[in-house]
Amino acid sequence: MSQLDDLKTAIKSRLGELECVIGWEQGYDPLHATPLFIRSEADLDRLIIGPLAVHNLATYLTGWKGKKVGVVVKGCDSRSVIELMNEKLVSRDDVVIFGLCCDGVVSQRKIRAALPADPGFVESVEIGADSLKVTVAGQAATLRLADVQADKCLVCDTPDAIVSDFLIGKAHTPAPAPSLKCQDEFEAKSDAEKFAFWQETMGRCIRCYACRNACPMCVCRDYCIATSRDPLWVSQENLPSENMMFQMIHVSHLAGRCTECGECERACPVDIPLMLLRRYMNKQVRDVFKHEAGKALDQTPPLLTFKVEEERINERGW
Amino acid sequence: MLKVAYYPGCSGQGTSLEYDTSTRAVCKALDVELVDIPDWSCCGSSPAHTVNHVLSAALSARNLAQVETMGMTKAATPCPSCLTNLRTAAHKMDDPEFKDKVNALLDVPCRNAVDTQSVLQVLAENVDPELIKGKVVKPLTGIKIACYYGCIMNRPPEVMRFDHHENPMAMDNLMALLGAEVVPFPLKVECCGASYGIPRGDIVHRLSGKLLDAGRDVGADAIVTACPLCQMNLDLRQGQINDALRENFRIPVFYYTQLLGYALGIDRAELGFEKLCVDPRLALGRIKQPQQAM
Amino acid sequence: MPAQDVRELRIVGFLCNWCSYGGADTAGVGRFTQPTDLRIIRVPCSGRIDPLFIVRALMNGADGVLVSGCHPRDCHYAEGNFYARRRLEMLKRFLPITGIDERRFEYTWVSASEGQRWQHVVTEFTRRIHELGPAPSFNPKSDVDWNALAVKASQGQGCPCHGSIQA
Amino acid sequence: MRIGVFICHCGSNIAGTVDCPSVAATALTYPDVVFSTDTMYACSEPGQDAIIQAVKDKNLDGVVVASCTPRMHEQTFRRAVERAGLNRYMFEMANIREHVSWIGKTKDLNTGKAAELVRMAVEKLRRNRPLVAKRFETVKRVLVIGGGVAGIQAALDCADGGQEVVLVEREQSIGGKMAKLDKTFPTVDCSSCVLGPKMVDIAQHPNITLYTCSEVESVGGYVGNFQVTVRRKSTYVDWTKCTGCGLCVEKCPSRKHPDPFNENLCNAPSINIPFPQAIPKKAAINASSCLMLTKGKCGLCAKVCPVKCIDFEQKDELVNVDVGAIVVATGYDLFDWHKYPQYGEGRYKDVITSMQYERLLSASGPTGGHIKRPSDGKEPKNVVFIQCVGSRDKSVDRPYCSGFCCMYTAKQAILTKDHIPDSQSYVFYMDIRSPGKMYDEFTRRAMEEYGAQYVRGRVAMIYPKGDKLVVRGADTLAGTQVEVPADLVVLAVGAESAKGAVQLGEKLRVAPDQYGFFVESHPKLKPVETNTAGVFLAGACQGPKDIPASVGQGSAAASKVLGLLSKAMLESDPAVSRVNPARCVGCGKCIQTCPFGAIKEIQDRFGNPKAEVIDTVCQGCGICTVTCPQGAIQLEHFTDNQILAEVNALCPPKMFANFE
């Protein structure tokens, strides 16, 4: 039986007791998936998984607080679920986790880049073992999956759901790359270059808050301090400084909580590489607190606790 | 079979020949192979380290380097004084700066990768007591023994890292294992006067005298040591002490390896009882013959 | 270093009320002369200092931000500076990726009795900031003296768009 | 809003290097500032009156004073604006003396800085709102934890002050360490004779409820309203019936377990009354050694008891008490000297602790007050005392001085001579620490009148010689080694924090220091207060103390309690955190980080979890405000917007960069 069939049987077995099960279905065209909220077995027919099922569905969990739901998660998504549980934002008893062993997902951005022109509407997509055949306006183009894989998959060390009620597919032995080229290159730049870079990108930011809304950890929702008057942290002016301020708020609120699912960057309509900030902050958190969000249950986010003697924080000579 | 590099030390070639021979004999008997360090040299004892620490350490380091060239990481010596120097040198060389100073003086640099132990520690920690028990042919039943460790074999604890530094038990346990009655000796780690025997005999007379006195108090037939210098002060100088303190001690002072060898039934010639100044026969006579002991 | 001889730069200080603010007072009582660039904001505890205050100041064009609290273990509220230490360390380590020179932000511990130490900290930090020079601004350049306007605006005069920042 | 600004000259302190009039002029251009002036001495009476007058004339609703540090005069001016009819929190201060005029040389730079600090204060004030202190009632009852002399004193003083007192003691009888002592220094009067009457008072005082064999299980609530649960451990004796006749104690056949009251010098019967003056004078069974409870046979005590109060079925009992204040008097424990190898690690019977020696000296002790050494019951002639055993020694992590050892050693040397006239005492010491009334004279007497030989130096080793112990040490004054043959060696063991102090501290939210002693609010000015309002310290639980100091602290703590509970209502500082339930998502992060347990989770009327601040417990640190991602919990008077306003005042947001 295929992974999808196994998943469907698993969901069937629990659907009865659940408000709904969150999965994926085809979106406006065969290339794009969109979240699917399965309430009846009929809905199950539309369920899809695979490299196109990119969304981190954990993002929807807090919206169902108090109700018992199921969620289909890839390894990376499961980290978000775990972190939400560790922060008591979601209760384990309220969630049935259908964990996948994931072979990696695509980056729509890379696909767009790989295709001769912006595809617009895609007629059909054939997913092969390691290739992707995309047909646009009668023209078929075959892309190597490896070339269009999302960055996070290249460095992913948790392809299989860490916590789950059902673990579907066959487990991987991950061989993640030590680091991402783009990240290393950017970090190597001079302060001036980096500053100029953010000045430019933040000038581009339209503060649509898509990055925030897509983030599974941004649970403040309507009460985000970036869009409130009391407290009023950011002005309405669309200035690079104000946009950067908003991004800094997002980063600092994610410090020690971000699970690097990449949703923020994926959701950005103006292609701001937000993961540069996320990965860097996570690196700092790893170095100082030996902490990785969502890698294990019952962890305390490092900024919600302390040690009287901090091994890795040296008072600077003053 | 356990294999360790062996550093006899200078006294082992002279005043404590019997310690060296008996040590080799018992180790052989207990399947501990002692491999002599080729071209070993002075450990840098008193004369050197009172004058120049780096030089003294270099002398030790040279020997450690030799062991490294043998491709071994564990060395053993019967002499606590050598042990102290070898271990202290290694301890100091943990500081890279000091290590460089030392290696500057050596042809073959020392990596400081050797752990030196006393033969006693090797026997106590690496030889199964049951094995020893099994090999005992003449149990020491009937003899009362006071174990005297000397002042430096266990101290300073952070350098020597062996046994309790105020109340060591390794020898006590070993002797008890051989069937001897070990009396609680309060001055186990007291100073015997050491090398003051030459410049200030009176000091040695007082200090060693106190040890013999304590031995007598606890009713010991004999004192057992693990240190050539201690043994010499207590044994060779016992006559002087008697004269100086108007005493008449007659307490034989053995090396623990001699009694161990005796119990294991090793050939007397290798144990060298005849080298002792205070006649040990009376004490040895207290040992019940095996058939009676059974 | 006498900051007096050059144009003042904008340095914001966040000090906890119980130790460091007292330390600054002690320095004053002892007449320990310091550069005048620093402006001190008083908060009850270093645990009250949101790293985002510092970011806000930097985004507003502060040239340097200095935070000081009670020495670890001496917090008036027992644990405030322990939390502060983690939060501030994270911010300081994060700044480089943004291209903002992390030397523009420093945090340290000064007790109410350490007037001299406070003088040293202020003098050293001010010197450092002057060596770094004025901080670049995120916002585009302009030939108009917007700063003057902004100052006036923040004083509640003209430029309605700035009313909002003052909330 | 109508704000008035007052720039203080402070004589020439400020005016010397700040152009006050021009600062005042600049201030007038700030938003909402309708009045601004400079004044010679703002804090002086005319200065304050001027402020009050201005508030009335210009009907101001906020005041900024630029003068000295708020740590100096904030309260003064707050009272002033209050007298003017404003809320005390509608006031801000700009520190232009300590932070400007006294540290900056150049007048124009100082003037500019002063003006900006004033602008900062104005911007803050514009976001202030009147805050009113919460008033709440207090429970007129006190919990005293620990029945040593400090706790006894605290309990008696509180009770005499008219408060109900609940006294909780872990042991079977109150009296603590002092009850074990034979005599006390420097008066050499009988310890139990001075303590006894106080213990009786505890038993008889109408306001005092005594729970012994009891421990504090849990503590909830806050100052004025603590809810405490006490565990009364089962004694297997119904104390309502027990008359303390002691028949059971005589008859008990099981006398195997060591007697803790006598420092394990002898054994005690399994059912026992620890000592003649015990309060309460009731018997209790030691479950671990009682034949009936361990083997299920015997029950002799039950047979002989005339009032039939033995109850082998008895279980622990939990008692709930509401109290308004808590006094912690859990005392200290003795250092475990076995950590020192040089003293024989227990191999030599005649090396004993000072407390064991007290029991040997005591008429109610195991030897009936005759000094007999443990090994062979012989009367010692040479007694060697070794001081600083577990004091002033980094090597055993006890770098502090225990304070009373020098004195009790001198006392014991004197008593030794009294008991055995032909005895000779030797004392190895590091320094003699005898500050206190008649203290140094006392140690002198020990040396001069009683001929105790004081040797300045540490002891290197103790070893047996014949039936004696040879004590070898350094005589640092003579610069030689000394060896003293001793019949008995008494170790002056130091004090360390009581076992379980740390755990109790967690329940009470009182932090212990690195050695387990409780930390006071302020080392000089608040010695018996803690950082938890309503919890006070008495005696050695705060640090080693002798009897007079402990008694003094007991009374001090009591006076704090009486002062607290004398108020009909308590007022809480209104500058505390406040939750905006609309913004709160109930994630509980604030609850997690609050050091004072001042935030609790509640359910709103839709059953959603929300945080709620207990005003009376909140100390106003603001950790929670930074923790909360939504800014839903704001520290009043230091809200995000107030601090942001200050930041924006100092660094006006620039719409466009300019580098000129």
Q: How far apart are CA C89 and CA B97, in angstroms?
A: 33
Domain check: are B7 and B144 in the same one?
no
Tell me, yes or no, if C118 comes closer than 8 A to chain A by beta carbon. no
pLDDT in tens, B86-98: 999 999 999 999 9
Could you tell me the residue range of the domain that residue B54 belongs to? 2-120
Which of B86, B120, B154 is the C-terminal boundary of a domain?
B120
User: Cβ contacts of residue D364 below 8 Å, gap of 6+?
Assistant: D192, D275, D276, D277
Chain B positions in Cβ-Cβ contact with residue D341 (cut-off 8 Å): 164-167
* pLDDT tops 60 at residue D620: yes
Nearest chain A residue to D639, by CA:
A231
CATH code of residue D628: 3.30.70.20
Nearest alpha carbon to residue D380 among D335, D424, D438: D424
Chain C positions in Cβ-Cβ contact with residue D643 (cut-off 8 Å): 41, 43, 53
Domain check: are B159 and B114 in the same one?
no
Name the DSSP class of D210.
E
Q: Would you say D385 and D351 are in contact if contact means Cβ atoms under 8 Å apart?
A: no
* pLDDT tops 60 at residue C158: no
Q: How far apart are CA C52 and CA C50, in angstroms?
A: 5
Residue D649 lies in a domain: no
- D and B interact (at least 3 Cβ pairs within 8 A): yes
pLDDT in tens, A180-205: 999 999 999 999 999 999 999 999 99
pTM here is 0.69
CATH code of residue B222: 3.40.50.11810
* pLDDT tops 80 at residue B46: no
Domain check: are B105 and B181 in the same one?
no
Please give the mean pLDDT across all residues of chain B.
93
Nearest alpha carbon to residue D432 among D418, D447, D417: D447
User: Cβ contacts of residue D549 below 8 Å, gap of 6+?
Assistant: D539
Mean pLDDT of C3-7: 56
Tell me, yes or no, if C109 comes closer than 8 A to chain A by beta carbon. yes
D656 contacts C25? CB cut-off 8 A: no
Tell me, yes or no, if C39 comes closer than 8 A to chain A by beta carbon. no
Residue B125 lies in a domain: no
pLDDT in tens, D525-584: 889 998 788 999 999 999 999 999 999 999 999 999 999 999 989 888 899 999 999 999
CATH code of residue B79: 1.20.1050.140
Tell me, yes or no, if A276 comes closer than 8 A to chain C by beta carbon. yes
Residue D268 lies in a domain: yes
Domain check: are D214 and D285 in the same one?
yes
Nearest chain C residue to D117, by CA:
C39
Domains of chain C, residue spans: 11-154
Domain check: are D314 and D440 in the same one?
no
Domain check: are D123 and D168 in the same one?
no
How many Å lie between the alpha carbon of D547 and the closest alpha carbon of chain C?
29
A236 contacts C85? CB cut-off 8 A: no
Domains of chain A, residue spans: 1-106+153-176, 179-308
Count of domains in chain B?
Answer: 2
C82 contacts A195? CB cut-off 8 A: no
Chains that touch A (3 or more CB pairs under 8 A): C, D
Q: How far apart are CA D162 and CA D140, in angstroms?
A: 9
β partners of residue D63: D4, D91
pLDDT in tens, D74-103: 999 999 999 999 999 999 999 999 999 999
pLDDT in tens, D440-493: 999 999 999 999 999 999 999 999 998 999 999 999 999 999 999 999 999 999
Q: Give residue A46's identity as a one-letter amino acid code.
A: R
| Other beta carbons within 10 Å of A99 | 25
Tokens of A76: 């990376």
pLDDT in tens, B230-246: 999 999 999 999 999 99
Q: Is D537 helix (H, G, I), strand (E, B) or coil?
A: strand
Count of domains in chain D?
Answer: 4
Domain check: are B72 and B171 in the same one?
no
Chain B positions in Cβ-Cβ contact with residue D347 (cut-off 8 Å): 167, 184
Give the closest of C8, C56, C83 to D109, CB-based.
Answer: C8
Please give the pLDDT value at position C155. Answer: 65
Nearest chain A residue to C110, by CA:
A318
Could you tell me the residue range of the domain that residue D36 belongs to? 3-127
How many Å lie between the alpha carbon of D392 and the closest alpha carbon of chain C?
22
Q: Would you say D338 and D260 are in contact if contact means Cβ atoms under 8 Å apart?
A: no
Nearest alpha carbon to residue B192 among B181, B208, B205: B208
Nearest alpha carbon to residue C96 among B108, B285, A195, B238: A195
Torsion sign over Cα D110, D115, D120, D125: positive
Q: Is B88 helix (H, G, I), strand (E, B) or coil?
A: helix
Domain check: are D584 and D487 in the same one?
no
Q: Would you say A222 and C26 are in contact if contact means Cβ atoms under 8 Å apart?
A: no
Out of 1.25.40, 1.10.1760, 3.40.50, 3.30.460, the CATH code matching C11-154 is: 3.40.50
Domain check: are D484 and D609 in the same one?
no
Tell me, yes or no, if B220 comes closer than 8 A to chain D by beta carbon. no
Domain check: are D363 and D490 in the same one?
yes
Tell me, yes or no, if A231 comes closer than 8 A to chain D by beta carbon. yes
Chain D positions in Cβ-Cβ contact with residue A87 (cut-off 8 Å): 587, 589
Give the closest of D104, D120, D641 to C36, CB-based.
Answer: D104
Nearest alpha carbon to residue D165 among D217, D213, D206, D200: D206
Give the closest of C50, C76, C151 to D652, CB-based.
Answer: C151
Q: How would residue C166 be classed by pLDDT, with cut points 50, 70 and 90?
A: very low
* pLDDT tops 50 at residue B26: yes
Name the DSSP class of B115.
E
Domain check: are D255 and D297 in the same one?
yes
D644 contacts A231? CB cut-off 8 A: yes
* pLDDT tops 50 at residue B2: yes
- A and B interact (at least 3 Cβ pairs within 8 A): no
Residue D538 lies in a domain: yes
Domain check: are D311 and D367 in the same one?
no
Please give the pLDDT value at position B290. Answer: 65
Residue B132 lies in a domain: no
Give the closest of D585, D588, D639 to A231, CB-based.
Answer: D639
Mean pLDDT of D121-132: 97
